[in-house]
Amino acid sequence: MSVTVLLEVLSKPGSIDELKQTLKAILPDTRGYDGCISVQVVLNQDDPLNLILNETWRSRAHYEKYFAWRAETGGLEALGNMLSAPPSIRYFDHQDI
C-alpha cells in the first residue's frame, strides 16, 4: 500500500527563490527514484516562505531509502542552509473511506 509523505519546509527570509530553484533542479531525480509515485509542491498562501512537498511513495521504506540517499549525497545539507528551521516530515496511510 502506498504512503503519503508531507515534507514541510520554512525558507529563510530572502532564500525562497533559491529554494524553489533548487527544488526545481533536484525534483526530477526524486520523481525518478525507485518507489516514488508523485511529488507536488505547494506554497502556503498565508506564509510565502512555507512550502509543502506532498509526496506519494510505494512504501515508507522506499522513502526512507531515498531520504538516506539525499543525506549521503549532500542534498539535505544544501537544502538545510536555505531553511529557517528543520523540516517536518509526516507519514500518512491511505484509508478506504
d(CA 4, CA 90): 8
Give the three-state DSSP class for 37: strand
Predicted confidence (pLDDT) per residue in 29-76, tens digit: 999 999 999 999 999 999 999 999 999 999 999 999 999 999 998 877
Prediction pTM value: 0.91
